[in-house]
Structure 1
């Protein structure tokens, strides 16, 4: 059975300021709109997300919260993982590998450079540096989530909010 993974880089956030911790930075208005556009775009594809795991950093949670609302996903079911904030690609792999088998579509949200490194690790495709608010989509044929590792996925596509700013 096919499993699908959506990797989301958080949308545009406030600039770093000395009086705020990086962890607490919030989305800008543009970041909120980009997350809504991407969520609406994904909803139009009639995708059904079974699980959302995000970094517990404010900007990541806000990104998936907005997207989840567009996807009619229960916001209270979003899982926040501290280790997805600066935990390296291994933290993303752990989130994937511990996903229950009844989940067919998993969405993970986090930060660069880790999420971009993880995207390339899955397939060795040249995904490059993921833009803020972008989504990279991967499929895994005949694998359990626990079996996902390097080069086991198929890169499906990459979408950026820039594609939708004038359309939606």
Structure 2
């Protein structure tokens, strides 16, 4: 049985200000548009996610909500965790390793640089730096979520909003 992980970097967010901390930064209008565009792109490819797990930081959760809408996923069902905010790639691995057995298509929303390191850790594929709003798709063959670790995934694709505009 194959499982698929969609690793999503949050879309473009407002710059830090003295009024809001980094955790509370929200998406810009172009970030909102890019998140919707990426969600529609994935929906058009036939993605029907079983579970969405997001950093609870505003920009990541907003990206997850917008993409969930495009994917016809109930945004109230998005699982949020602060652990995916600035806790390193191990936090992403923990989120994946604890996904329910019945889940076949898992989306995880987070932040750079950790999310890029995580994608490269799983696939041993040199991604560089995931751009804002981008999605890396990873396939796992004959593994339960709890068995996933370094180099167990097969890199399938890297899609970014800037690729869709062309």
Q: Distance in 1 between matches of 2:117 and 2:51?
A: 22
Q: Which ranges in structure 1 are unaligned for 5 or more consecutive residues? A: none
Q: Normalization by structure 1: what TM-score?
A: 0.97
* 1:128-161 CA distance string (max 9 Å, x none): 1100000000000000000000000000010000
| 2:9 equivalent to 1:9 | yes
Q: Which ranges in structure 2 are unaligned for 5 or more consecutive residues? A: none
Task: Tell me what 1:88 maps to.
Answer: 88
Q: Distance in 2 between matches of 1:72 and 1:42?
A: 11
| 2:163 equivalent to 1:163 | yes
Offset at residue 33 of structure 1 (A): 0.1
| 2:54 equivalent to 1:25 | no
* 1:13-68 CA distance string (max 9 Å, x none): 00111221100000000000000000000000111100000000000000010000
Offset at residue 165 of structure 1 (A): 2.9
Q: Distance in 1 between matches of 2:165 and 2:28?
A: 15
- The structure 1 segments of at least 4 consecutive aligned residues displaced by more than 4 Å after TM superposition are none
Matches within 5 A, 1:6-155: 6-155=6-155
Preserved CA contact (<8 Å) 1:24 1:58: yes
Q: Distance in 1 between matches of 2:99 and 2:93?
A: 10
Q: Helix, strand or coil: the match of 1:7?
A: strand
- Number of equivalent positions: 166
Q: Normalization by structure 2: what TM-score?
A: 0.99
Q: Helix, strand or coil: the match of 2:4?
A: strand
Offset at residue 163 of structure 1 (A): 1.5
Q: Distance in 1 between matches of 2:154 and 2:72?
A: 27
Preserved CA contact (<8 Å) 1:133 1:161: yes
